[in-house]
Amino acid sequence: MKSYLTKDIRNVVLIGGSKSGKTTLAEAMLYEGKVIDRRGTVEAKNTVSDNTEFEQTNQKSVYATPLYAEVLNTKFNIIDAPGSDDFSGGAIAAFKVCENSILVVNGAQGVEVGTEIFARYAKQYGIPMIVAVNQLDAEKADWDHTIASLKEAFGSKIILVQFPVNVGPDFNGIVDVLTQKFYKFKDENGNYEELEIPAEYADQAEELRSELMEKAAEGDDDLMMKFFDTMELTTDEIRAGLRAGYSKGEIMPVFAVSGKKDVGVKRLMEFTINVAASPLGTVAKTKEGGEITCDPNAPVSLFIYKTAVEQHLGDVAYFKVMSGVLNEGADLTNPETGNNERLSAIYAVAGAKKEKVSSINAGDIGCVMKLKNGKTDVTLAAPGVDAIEHMVFPDAKYRCAVKAVDKNDEAKVGEALNKIAAQDPTIIVEYSKELRQTILSGQGEQHINLVKWRVKNEFKLDIELFAPKVPYRETITKVATAQYRHKKQSGGAGQFGEVHLLVCPYVEGEPAPTKFKIDGKDTILNLKTSESFDLEWGGKLEFYNCVVGGAIDLGFMPAILKGINDKMTEGPLTGSYARDIRVYVYDGKMHPVDSKEIAFIIAGRNAFKEAFRIAGPKILEPIYNVDILTPNDYVGPCMSDLNGRRGMIINQDMDGNFTILHARVPLAELYRYSTTLSSLTGGAATFTMKFAEYQPVPADVQTKLLAEYAAQEKEDE
């Protein structure tokens, strides 16, 4: 295979809702690009893109698969992304290496929530979109409805470059307003005749061409001047205007296709090549705030955006050459770790098929096998080149606890999960010391089930998934004092320490109060030293030494603090971590011989424990900001479901057919929420969740938690 010049490369990610036909369209693109001479189908489980067992069994894409085709002497790199939001990590990684996207819309459905979700991601990551209205050969295909839904969702960005003729099972014609041609398809293999536009479509074509011209003129000031002067633009000028508007994300040009019958696919690719940006001159940010320009003459650098373990091949790392020319045998360095890697053989990729190449130019996508440290999100480069900025993925929306079915497999399961997480940055595996559980988080239940499937099938291990514990916190609501004397004088060396302390709630932004009633007397405490700690688990502990008259040596203060810290990880109510507390040590006693560190640790710990117990302790629970994107029809059911989860709706925004509900919901009520939301709305809604703050639990919940904890303690005894 030849090596393509940077200017002759287009990197395009196919995005859109589930089952809009991305994989089928990709198959037609490969056929048009002569990479394959027979098209497979999703049903027959023989597409190039959906080549893993899980994808074939489930007839859906779960990995973003890199592919390529050659058209017009250009290398058309395609990344076929999954349409399910659970697997959005694939599309998001692809945005890092693609300058362009094709938003595939099911012409029998119009805009779906998946269309909206991925269009939002594309916008967020700054990737312009061409729209392919697909499946126009389907019985229920409806062009007018689809265009209306596109205009409703994306407004005046939507501009038609084509319209279809004979929509439905006999779909065989496309009127192209830009080329002013009628493409009449003769078969289901992309062969067509190029004809004059038939008279019956001439008026519609004329009208759309004026709209196209006007829109193109808006993309560029010079064109606008010319358009006002002459009311006419040439086809090349329209193309230039579209290019400008598209690249700024102001125009979404719309095409009519059937991936299944290979109608309009080649024309879509040709337009993309003519209008979409090549990687040449594009700029990637580095971690250090610098820039790497996609220039074949610069020092070589590549970015690994995806890794996988593949049948017969082992570890495969997929990358884009960000600058320079990558030659086989190159020795590169990871700028972040200093590790060296030799890339002895490099490949172009079409799904499972890899073709060895001797060099890859800046801007192109390829892969390499068996790197020593070829992790996702890693830069490899010539000396002196900085690492590319890391990818940013959405926060997890599904969280569960995981354990090995067979206890003896625990270590192996941990290793398997870590390997999967290293490949898929949207999977997070963490052992929580606090909860004593391994927590597995991802984008949804399907995503987590894929992990379970992989552990079983790729690592031959069984895991069990179950509801995770909630990281509750405890705090106090009022002032309390306590004292404790630790005295041990039987046998050997004695121990003696006595601590008197006061606890009071910590309130952010308020100075430490010093006036208290202690033992019925108004007392002013003199803060001799004060220490403030940001707790690892959130919140604060402030510690003041107010001892007068040398009742306790300064040297014992760290021991007292240590004793308090011991109890901070084990609140008196449910054994949860404590937070937001001020502790004043105001008095105590020493013994000339027996006072030692251990005595003050014990005295500090017990005095604090007692003070906490009587200071109106409260359980706090984590509250999340939850934003739900739902079609307007489902707002009612979503709201009543949130009510049942102790959720509070803060406000709502309307966005065309969709509503965004902004709510606050306790984490304890969010287990399997993505699954419930999906079944509540027939898969039409999605959401994001992000930790907001800790809030006291309502009294009835506190009672229930206390009872649960007491029962658990009993069981553990």
Ligand X SMILES: Nc1nc2c(ncn2[C@@H]2O[C@H](COP(=O)(O)OP(=O)(O)OP(=O)(O)O)[C@@H](O)[C@H]2O)c(=O)[nH]1
According to the binding rule CB under 6 A, does residue 678 interact with ligand X?
no
Q: Which of 6, 11, 23, 595 binds ligand X (CB under 6 A)?
A: 23
Read out DSSP for 263-305? Answer: BSHHHHHHHHHHHSPPSTT-EEEBTTS-EEE--TTSPPEEEEE
What part of residues 33-72 is at the interface with Mg ion (CB under 5 A)?
A: 61
Helices of type H across 444-596? 445-458, 557-568
Compute the least distance from the CB of residue 138 to ligand X, in Å: 4
Question: Cβ(447)–Cβ(58) under 8 Å?
Answer: no
Q: Which of 23, 84, 149, 674 binds Mg ion (CB under 5 A)?
A: 23
Q: Which range, of 18-26, 470-478, 579-587, 588-596, touches Mg ion by CB under 5 A? A: 18-26
Give φ, ψ of 13 to 5 degrees: -100, 135
Per DSSP (E only), the strands in 506-657 are 515-518, 521-524, 529-534, 540-545, 577-578, 581-589, 618-631, 648-655
Binding string, residues 38-77; x marks residues near ligand X by CB under 6 A: ---xxx----------------xx----------------
Compute the least distance from the CB of residue 132 to ligand X, in Å: 10
The entry of Mg ion, ligand X, none near residue 137 (CB within 5 to 8 angstroms by kind) is: ligand X
H/E segment holding residue 244: helix 235-247
Q: Which range, of 17-25, 153-161, 445-453, 528-536, touches ligand X by CB under 6 A? A: 17-25
What part of residues 81-110 is at the interface with ligand X (CB under 6 A)?
A: 82-83
Nearest residue to 383 via CA among 334, 344, 326, 343: 334
Q: Which range, of 133-141, 205-213, 358-366, 563-571, touches ligand X by CB under 6 A? A: 133-141
The entry of Mg ion, ligand X, none near residue 18 (CB within 5 to 8 angstroms by kind) is: ligand X
Compute the least distance from the CB of residue 46 to ligand X, in Å: 12
The entry of ligand X, Mg ion, none near residue 449 (CB within 5 to 8 angstroms by kind) is: none
In the structure, how many helices (H) and strands (E) does the chain have? 16, 40
Which one, 78 or 263, has the nearer CB to Mg ion?
A: 78
Residues 6+ apart with CB under 8 A from 549: none
Angle formed by the axes of helices 113-124 and 88-97, nearest 10°: 30
Q: How far apart, in whole angstroms, are the C-alpha atoms of residue 578 and residue 602? A: 18
Which one, 61 or 323, has the nearer CB to ligand X?
A: 61
Q: How far apart, in whole angstroms, are the C-alpha atoms of residue 655 and residue 113? A: 12
Residue number of the CB closest to ligand X reads 83
Size of the site for ligand X (CB under 6 A): 21
Amino acid found at 526: N
The entry of Mg ion, ligand X, none near residue 24 (CB within 5 to 8 angstroms by kind) is: ligand X
Binding string, residues 245-284; x marks residues near ligand X by CB under 6 A: -------------xxx------------------------
Q: How far apart, in whole angstroms, are the C-alpha atoms of residue 182 and residue 173? A: 7
Q: Which of 10, 19, 215, 243 binds ligand X (CB under 6 A)?
A: 19
What is the DSSP code (8-state) at residue 408? G
The entry of Mg ion, ligand X, none near residue 306 (CB within 5 to 8 angstroms by kind) is: none
Q: How far apart, in whole angstroms, are the C-alpha atoms of residue 320 and residue 66? A: 11
Q: Which residues bind ligand X (CB under 6 A)?
A: 18-24, 41-43, 60-61, 82-83, 134-135, 137-138, 258-260
Site of interaction with Mg ion (CB under 5 A): 22-23, 61
